[in-house]
Amino acid sequence: MSKKSTLVICLAVAMSMQAQAQKKATPAKKTATTAASAKGQQGSTRLIEKVTRKPGELKIPYEKYQLPNGLTVVVHEDHSDPIVHVDVTYHVGSGREEVGKSGFAHFFEHMMFQGSDNVADEEHFKIVSEAGGTLNGTTNRDRTNYFETMPSNQLETAIWLEADRMGFLLDAVTQQKFEVQRETVKNERGQRVDNAPYGLSYEKTSAALYPYGHPYSWTTIGYIEDLNRVNVNDLKNFFLRWYGPNNATLTVGGDVTPEQVVKLAEKYFGSIPKGPEVRNQKLPAPVLAQDRYVSYEDNVRFPSLTITFPTVPSNHPDEPALDVLSRIIGGGRTSIIYQNMVKTQKANSAGAYHSTSELAGEFTLTARVLPTQNLADAEKQLRESMAEFEKRGVTDEDIERYKASYESGMVNSLSSVSGKTSMLAAYQTFTGNPNYLTKEMQAVNSVTKADVQRVYNQYLKGKKAVLLSVVPKGKSDLIAKADNFKVDATGYKAPADQYSGLKYTKATDAFDRSKRPAAGANPVITVPPFWKEQLSNGIKVIGAKSDEVPTVTLLFTLQGGHKLEAHDPSKAGLASMTASMLNESSQKFTSEEISTQLEKLGSSISFGSGAESMTVQVSSQVKNLDATLALLEERMFRPRFDATEFDRLKKQRLEAIKNQSTQPTTVADNVYNKMLYGEGNIRAVPVVGTVKTVENISLEDVKKFYNDYFSPSVTNLVIVGDTDQKQIMSKLAFLNTWKPKPVNMPADTKLAGIDKTKIFIVDKEKAAQSEIRIGYMALPYDATGEYYKANLMNYVLGGAFNSRINLNLREDKGYTYGARSGFSGTEEAGPFTASAGVRSNASDASVVEFMKEIKRFREEGITDAELAFMKNAIGQSDARRYETSFQKAAFLNNMLRYNLTPDYVAKQNEILQNITKEEINALAKKYLPVDNMSIMLVGDKAAIKPGLEKLGYDVVELDPDGAPVAPAAAAAPVDVKKEEPKKGRKPKDTVGRTF
């Protein structure tokens, strides 16, 4: 219910419900067992339940089984695409950890990719990638999951891989692998937490909100000191305690049958012994006797205040009402906080949200104010917004909008096999009932106005909270109130030891697990059928029917965007400002009224602008399409261009640009683009503009840009959804009234050249990591020419997880959380870029390894094994290319944008299968000019410059705008502590994907 975009991860329930759900499940006929009663197990596999779906019903059909060793198996059969999604979820996250051992669950997720008895180091990623699949693992407070999406002929391989690491992992866990993964996790923390603005916020809030020792009082990534303290035996014990089949759910969805999945589950998982019993946790909600004020200084521009109240766990009866409450108080343009603080320009951004986990929930109010504003004022304004809710109350429209948004979000989440499979896995893990969606929908539809008012009185009114102030360094006077809380361990009692006496017992089988399963016949892949049409005013339309979910997606692409600003570079950012204004009021409706109507429809309309185009994206359920298109017509053709709204957006834009200096990744990207494109090229200027150029933009400029360039003559329209050509085009008849106008595209500007490879440094004082960009301007997009072939060449260099660059910098050395390279051309030439965020004290060593790998690949070329891997991995990935509406829309948009013929995919496949080792090596020599690349780092100059100066390249200092910095007077040498490279290897990760 809370945060629907992460529903598949976060759904959880009170502890007793698993037993209740099992009691309520209707026993069905027993299914025969094959290898199910393998040695050491008793009984046979049981069919627990079978759930079917009636036409029009929002439900995921499935069959649920349980093996004798306690493994739950859930199967969703869906033959719409030749793919399969396999998910193994373990009911263990950081919520099972103890004081002093934070980060174990996440650390162990990394270790699960390091090979097992029958799967060699790095093989897990290689096997899945070579089969045309994708994979990852994630960890949160309450569960860890591992998953792969593959062509359906690879089902047995996926199950074999997951079973091998469940039952045969620990003998493959070495000290060497352990040390590399420790470094990788620390790099991940550096990238996501220590080197990110506001990165410590949730860690600080959690420590203040929950009692000392509560497993939510630390975050999933863990503390550095705990990561340094942990040893390999600790990790092994964590596996033995929590990674048994009786604490896991295997969920398989896609082009499979239940009989097929059960047979394979019995074969590969059936003989794995049960683990120790795992009991559900239940902890009391935090009780705060007073408001707890905490604060810290950070490298940020906007002072930030968050106020967090403890609430209820996931799936508690009060959760839906609290979700509605968060939307009314701070969830969007019509919310009280937005109206009081953002629209009035008292805050740069502000809002409220309600998030829940298995053991607790948190209701959060947040505001980021302008640089000189005091957070005491922000606290006053947030509390006044709460008080305003009491006077305002709850309306029928509030309830209607929430329910429509919920339904829309749920429908969209069911658009892919992976989405449906992950949802079944989460519901089973936390409720014992994969069909919990039905119960959740009933809870949402039962929410009343009185419920919302009651939960406000019960959980927020007069209640105490944690108030976290984050202020710019040296600005402690801006905090809301002096700190009055410190973590206190008094009274803490360590839990009973759960890890003594654990033994590793391997399964015994009647077959050879070391033999990798053979793949079935390759699935037949066909490009989705589509239709084309061109309107009299020039709009090119392409569409495809997709009836898996009752939705329609429209994507308008207008050529130009930022590129058109080359006509007047002094007003760069104008296209982006115009798109922002189109998201505001129309002549007939205010922006709040449009937002209200869209929420009630469960639809969205959004305008955006990028480097080479402006876009309009529309999403709607079929039943609400007419009303959504009426709002689209209003927004596209009757914008109000209100002066007050323009002033607010311009002020916010200027503050956002100034804030970029606190974000190392953004600084790196902006400076790198300036180096690539050179002075005088509009692409050297950020899409959002600079402070100077945005200050030059007036409302009249916006109106002129819209009138001159918002034209059907440069517009492509992609339509994908549950509608056919005749139906949708009749509904879009209003587009025929759109008058065309000539749009003069600027001539291409000469690109900057690189005379020789140099190192450029942008100083980011005290940065924990350095952002590295290495590259040059390469070539434009070509679907079947050298651009396509160059990306084939790059795949094993830096385009896959198992690429040379990533295996070196991440897996062998432990310098980074992820490193990569690739070509990114469009109609114009685009760059080849190698990039990573690396440990600060490994900056120079990382540059050495990047350049070594690029040079070695250029000189020595690809191996026979790498060539075969690349062909298999890319060739078999077609099964995943056209599954969702988004994927179909991207495919069709590419065809229109580059005027591609329908057979271009077949031509690509022919090129892929026939490309030779000699061709790849020639491409490497041509497109990897190691002596003519720019090497740029954003990091702590004092720490990284001495090492970089020893590498033999010229070193140039730049400011955050990319301008050269005048040399300073000579300073005393800096003693830079460097760590020795670690040996070993590592996997793919957690909360986000590396690739």
- Burial class from Cβ neighbours inside 10 Å (0-12, 13-18, 19+) for residue 809 reads buried
Based on the fold, state whether residues 720 and 856 are members of the same structural domain.
Answer: no
pLDDT digits (tens, 9 = 90+) for 392-440: 999 999 999 999 999 999 988 888 999 999 999 999 999 999 999 999 9
Question: 751 lies in a domain?
Answer: no
* Residues contacting 576, CB < 8 A, separation 6+: 562, 609, 653, 687, 688, 689
pLDDT digits (tens, 9 = 90+) for 285-304: 999 999 999 999 999 999 99
Question: 869 lies in a domain?
Answer: yes
Which residue range is the domain that position 777 belongs to? 758-958
Based on the fold, state whether residues 547 and 474 are members of the same structural domain.
Answer: no
Residue 992 has pLDDT above 90, yes or no: no
- The per-residue pLDDT for 988 is 32
The residue-averaged pLDDT of 260-267 equals 98
The residue-averaged pLDDT of 832-844 equals 96
Residue 39 has pLDDT above 70, yes or no: no
Three-state SS letters, 47-103: EEEEECCCCCCCCCCEEEEECCCCCEEEEEECCCCCEEEEEEEECCCHHHCCCCCCC
DSSP string, 732-758: TGGGGG-------PPPPPPPPP-SS-E
What is the distance between the alpha carbons of residues 836 and 832, in angstroms, rounded to a whole number? 14
What is the distance between the alpha carbons of residues 330 and 527, in angstroms, rounded to a whole number? 44
Could you give the dihedral angle defined by the CA atoms of residues 554, 559, 560 and 563, in that order, rounded to the nearest 10 degrees? 100
What is the distance between the alpha carbons of residues 954 and 970, in angstroms, rounded to a whole number? 17
pLDDT digits (tens, 9 = 90+) for 688-713: 999 999 999 999 999 999 999 999 99
CA angle 690, 194, 994 (to 5 degrees): 80
Based on the fold, state whether residues 866 and 764 are members of the same structural domain.
Answer: yes
Based on the fold, state whether residues 685 and 775 are members of the same structural domain.
Answer: no
What is the distance between the alpha carbons of residues 195 and 766, in angstroms, rounded to a whole number? 9
Name the more confident of 989 and 336: 336
Based on the fold, state whether residues 302 and 382 are members of the same structural domain.
Answer: yes
In degrees and rounded to multiples of 5, residue 166 shows phi and psi of: -75, -40
The residue-averaged pLDDT of 718-724 equals 95
Residue 345 has pLDDT above 90, yes or no: yes
Count the alpha carbons within 13 Å of 4 in the hemisphere toward its beta carbon. Answer: 23
pLDDT digits (tens, 9 = 90+) for 327-342: 999 999 999 999 999 9
The residue-averaged pLDDT of 921-942 equals 97
pLDDT above 70 coverage of the chain, percent: 93
Lowest mean pLDDT among 31-40, 159-168, 680-689: 31-40
Question: 876 lies in a domain?
Answer: yes
Domain boundary among 269, 304, 328: 269
Q: Which residue has the tokens 């070579």?
A: 130
Element (H, E) at 339: none
The residue-averaged pLDDT of 914-940 equals 97
Based on the fold, state whether residues 610 and 545 are members of the same structural domain.
Answer: yes
- The per-residue pLDDT for 43 is 77
Question: 459 lies in a domain?
Answer: yes
Count the alpha carbons within 13 Å of 624 in the hemisphere toward its beta carbon. Answer: 21
The residue-averaged pLDDT of 619-631 equals 97
Axis crossing angle, helix 175-189 with helix 232-242, rounded to the nearest 10: 90
Q: Collapsing DSSP states into helix, strand and coil, what is residue 448?
A: coil
Count of domains in the chain?
A: 4
Residue 326 has pLDDT above 80, yes or no: yes
Mean pLDDT of the chain: 91
Residue 14 has pLDDT above 50, yes or no: no
Taking a C-beta distance cutoff of 8 angstroms, is the pair 347, 355 a contact? no
Could you give the dihedral angle defined by the CA atoms of residues 398, 399, 402 and 407, in that order, rounded to the nearest 10 degrees? -150
In degrees and rounded to multiples of 5, residue 620 shows phi and psi of: -155, 150
Question: 891 lies in a domain?
Answer: yes
The residue-averaged pLDDT of 495-500 equals 91
Could you give the dihedral angle defined by the CA atoms of residues 412, 636, 710 and 533, in that order, rounded to the nearest 10 degrees? 60
pLDDT digits (tens, 9 = 90+) for 522-547: 777 778 899 999 999 999 999 999 88
Residue 822 has pLDDT above 60, yes or no: yes
Question: 977 lies in a domain?
Answer: no
DSSP assignment letter at 870: H
Pairing relationship of beta strands 46-51 and 134-139 according to DSSP bridges: unpaired
Output the CA–CA distances (angstroms, integers) from residue 242 to 282, 442, 990, in the order listed.
17, 33, 18
What is the distance between the alpha carbons of residues 362 and 209, in angstroms, rounded to a whole number? 9
Axis crossing angle, helix 904-914 with helix 786-794, rounded to the nearest 10: 50
Based on the fold, state whether residues 781 and 890 are members of the same structural domain.
Answer: yes
DSSP assignment letter at 835: E
- The per-residue pLDDT for 525 is 73
Based on the fold, state whether residues 387 and 450 are members of the same structural domain.
Answer: yes
Output the CA–CA distances (angstroms, integers) from residue 655 to 301, 570, 648, 666, in the order listed.
9, 18, 11, 15
What is the distance between the alpha carbons of residues 537 and 942, in angstroms, rounded to a whole number? 59
- The per-residue pLDDT for 627 is 98
pTM of the model: 0.88
Lowest mean pLDDT among 145-154, 634-643, 732-741, 874-883: 874-883
Element (H, E) at 342: none
The residue-averaged pLDDT of 646-664 equals 94
Residue 33 has pLDDT above 60, yes or no: no
- The per-residue pLDDT for 878 is 80
The residue-averaged pLDDT of 675-695 equals 94
Based on the fold, state whether residues 164 and 99 are members of the same structural domain.
Answer: yes
The residue-averaged pLDDT of 539-558 equals 94
- The per-residue pLDDT for 452 is 98
What is the distance between the alpha carbons of residues 937 and 947, in angstroms, rounded to a whole number? 12
Question: 300 lies in a domain?
Answer: yes
- The per-residue pLDDT for 968 is 59
As separate numbers, helices (DSSP H) first and strands (DSSP E) second, the chain gives 33, 24
Confidence band of 591 (pLDDT split at 50, 70, 90)? very high
- The per-residue pLDDT for 522 is 78
- The per-residue pLDDT for 747 is 86
Question: 446 lies in a domain?
Answer: yes
- The per-residue pLDDT for 969 is 52
Based on the fold, state whether residues 298 and 235 are members of the same structural domain.
Answer: no
- The per-residue pLDDT for 527 is 81
Residue 42 has pLDDT above 70, yes or no: no
What is the distance between the alpha carbons of residues 818 and 698, in angstroms, rounded to a whole number? 42
Q: What is the CATH classification number for the domain harbouring 876?
A: 3.30.830.10
What is the distance between the alpha carbons of residues 657 and 203, in angstroms, rounded to a whole number? 27
- The per-residue pLDDT for 983 is 36
Based on the fold, state whether residues 550 and 666 are members of the same structural domain.
Answer: yes
Residue 12 has pLDDT above 80, yes or no: no
Based on the fold, state whether residues 87 and 207 are members of the same structural domain.
Answer: yes
